[in-house]
Every structure is written in C-alpha cells, then in structure tokens.
Structure 1
Amino acid sequence: MNVLIVYTHPNQHSLCNAFLQEVKRGCEDNESIHNIKILDLYHVKFNPVLEFNEKRRRRDMHIDPEIKEYRDQLSWAEKIVFIYPIWWGRPPAMLLGYIDKGFASGFAYKDHGGLLPEGLLKGKSVVCISTMKGPAFYPLLWLHNSHKVLMKKALFKFVGIGKVKFFEFGSMEDQKKDKQPKFKKVYSYFSKVQ
C-alpha cells in the first residue's frame, strides 16, 4: 500500500506533529505498507491562495503545472492521511487551500451536469486525524458534526472516496490529561491497517 500523509500545522512541536510521528511509526511497522510520502504543507510553503485571471482559469486547474506534483502524489496514494488541528470548527485555511487546488475538476471529479459528479479518485481511502482545544463532543453537539460533514460528504464522497475514518481528539491543551492512550490508538491503527 502507498500512503500519503498530508500534515498541516505551523508548529513542528505541536501535538499534531506527535500524531504524525505515531502514524509514521505505525506505517513503518506495518508489512502491508510499502511506501510512505509526507507532505508538510507549511514546510514546503504551499501557497493556498487561488488566483484566476486571463492566464489562469479555473477550468484549467487540473492541468496547472504548479500543482502537478501534488496531483501526482494524490494519484500515487492508495491511502491518504490528513493530520491537522480544528480551528473555528474546521481545518486550517492552508489545508482547505490545498484541497481547493489539488482536488480540481477534471482531476478529482468530472461534472456531467447531474446532481452529483463522477468521482475520479475511487478505490482510495482516507484517514483524518484532528486535534482541538475544546472537548471531543463539541463539534457533534454544538456544530452538528460540520467538520465530518465537510470532509466526508462535501469533499471525499464528491470525488469518489467512500472509505473515510476519523480520529478526532478533543481537550488536547489540557495538561492534566494523559495523551499517551491517544498516541497508542493511532499507532495501533496504522500498524495493523490493510
């Protein structure tokens, strides 16, 4: 299995980075995973800003040479892992910009004029690992699960990815709570997943 890890956090000493290390360790200990690529959006200084003008048109995003490397990574991957914090009830703008650019029409989906497009990324699976300051039940009760709806239905289902797993970890800034069971849970999943 080819695994692409898309890591999105500006602080290399964050809890998201600790989860990244556990994902890497689990993948390396899993005989089913043959190749791992890590894309650190902040480290590569990914530009999340969409720009359209007379030279750059939205309908040509799927062939934009600046995004080719990222499209190639998405095509290569069988499992895509996103690691990010939840800010204001949603992923960071950096990750949303990556999605805006990388999951373009003509590459990730094809519109035939019907209710839903044809998803062109079928056969892949996704894992979303997110951290938040508030309690884990906050997005479910207060925000009507908007984060999961955004990622699973508005994005992944739209592009043909049906298998999506979430690890949402709340109260991550609480210094009294032991984080080790959460790290072990992520490691265990990636060391066994097929």
Structure 2
Amino acid sequence: MKLLVIYTYPNHKSLNYAFLQKVIKGSNENPNIKELQILDLYEENFNPLLVFNEQKRRRDMHTDPHIEKYRQQIKWADKIVFIYPIWWGRPPAMLLGYIDQLFASNFAYQDQKGLLPKGLLKGKSVICISTMKGPTHYPFLWLKNAHKMLMKRALFNFVGIKKVKFFEFGNMESPKGKQMKKLEKIDTYFQRLHH
C-alpha cells in the first residue's frame, strides 16, 4: 500500500503537526504500508490561487505543467490522507486551492451523459483527519454535517473515491480535549491499517 499524506497547517509546533507525526510513526510500523510520501502545502509554498486567462484556460488545467508533480503523487497513491483544521466549518483555503487545481476535469473526472461524471480516481481511498476548536458534534448538529458532505459527496464520490474515513477531533484547544488519547488513536489506526 502506498500512502500520500497531505498536511495543511502553517505551524509545525501544533497539534496538527503532532497528528502528522503519529501518522508517520504508525505507518512506519505497519508492514502493509510499503511507501509513504508527505506533502506539506505550506512548506511547499503551494500557490492556491486559480488563474484563468488567454494563456491559462480552465479546460487545460489537467495538463498544467506547474502542478504535474502533484498529479503524479495522486496517481501513485493507493490511499490519500488529509490532515487539516476545520475553520468556519470547512478546510483551510490552502487545501481548497489545492483541490480546485488538482481535482480537475479529465484528470479526476470526465463529463458524460447523465447526472454524474465518470470518476477517474476509482480504486483509491481517503482518510480525513481534522481538528477544531468547537465540540466534536458541532459540524453534525449545527452545520448539518456540512464538512463531511462537502468532502465525501461533493468531492471524493464525484471523482470515483467511495471509501472515505473521517476523524473529526473537537475541543482541541481545551485542556480537557483528551489530545494525547486522540493522538494515540491515530498512531494505533495507522499501525493496523491493512487496505
């Protein structure tokens, strides 16, 4: 199994970074995970801004040479792990900018007759590890599950990825947030991951 981990947080002295370290540790102790790549979007200085003009057309985004290496990473991976905070009920703009560019027509999906396109990323799976200041059930109860709907239905299912696992960790700025327990949960999960 080949794992691509996409980390989106601007600070390495953070809880999000601690989750990244646990993903790496657990994966390195798992014989089922043969290869691991880490993409740190902030460290990479990834440019999340979309630019469309006479030279750069939206319909050509799937062949844009500036993001070819990121397309190759997605093609290479069996499983993609996203680590990010939930801000205003959704992932950070940096990650959404990556998604806007990488999950493009004729790379991630292909338009066809009917309601839904043909997903071109079938066979891959996704794990989303997200942190938030508010309580764990806030996105579900107050926002009607908007975060999961956005990531699973509007994005991953649309491009053919049916298997999506969520870890939504709330109260992460509270002294009673059980941060160590949640970090250990991620470590153990990745040690035991088998498909």
Q: TM-score, normalised by structure 2?
A: 0.98
Matched to 1:50, the amino acid is L
- Aligned equivalent of 2:34: 34
Pair 1:64 & 2:64 matched: yes
Pair 1:77 & 2:77 matched: yes
Whether the aligned pair in 1 keeps the contact of 2:89 and 2:139 (CA below 8 Å) is: yes
- Aligned equivalent of 1:138: 138
Q: Per-residue deviation at 1:114?
A: 2.0
How many residues align? The count is: 194
Distance 2:193 2:162 in 1: 16
Matched to 1:124, the amino acid is K
| 1:19-73 C-alpha deviation (Å, 9 max, x unpaired) | 0000000100000000000000000000000000000000000000001000000
- Aligned equivalent of 1:126: 126
Whether the aligned pair in 1 keeps the contact of 2:116 and 2:158 (CA below 8 Å) is: yes
Listed as ranges, the matches of 1:15-54 within 5 Å are 15-54=15-54
Q: Per-residue deviation at 1:14?
A: 1.1
Pair 1:153 & 2:147 matched: no
Distance 1:145 1:96 in 2: 18
Moved over 3 A (4+): none
Distance 1:20 1:98 in 2: 18
Give unmatched runs, 5+ long, in structure 2. Answer: none
Whether the aligned pair in 1 keeps the contact of 2:8 and 2:40 (CA below 8 Å) is: yes
Alpha-carbon RMSD across the aligned residues, in angstroms, is 0.6
Distance 1:73 1:177 in 2: 34
Distance 1:15 1:155 in 2: 26
- Aligned equivalent of 2:107: 107
Whether the aligned pair in 1 keeps the contact of 2:128 and 2:166 (CA below 8 Å) is: yes
Pair 1:92 & 2:102 matched: no
Give unmatched runs, 5+ long, in structure 1. Answer: none
Matched to 1:98, the amino acid is Y
Pair 1:175 & 2:181 matched: no
Q: TM-score, normalised by structure 1?
A: 0.99
Distance 1:178 1:93 in 2: 27
Distance 1:118 1:32 in 2: 30
Amino-acid identity (%): 64
Distance 1:31 1:50 in 2: 39
| 1:126-156 C-alpha deviation (Å, 9 max, x unpaired) | 0000000000010000000000000000000
Distance 1:147 1:75 in 2: 25
Matched to 2:8, the amino acid is T
Matched to 2:47, the amino acid is N
Matched to 2:76, the amino acid is W
Distance 1:17 1:113 in 2: 43
Matched to 2:153, the amino acid is K
Whether the aligned pair in 1 keeps the contact of 2:170 and 2:177 (CA below 8 Å) is: no
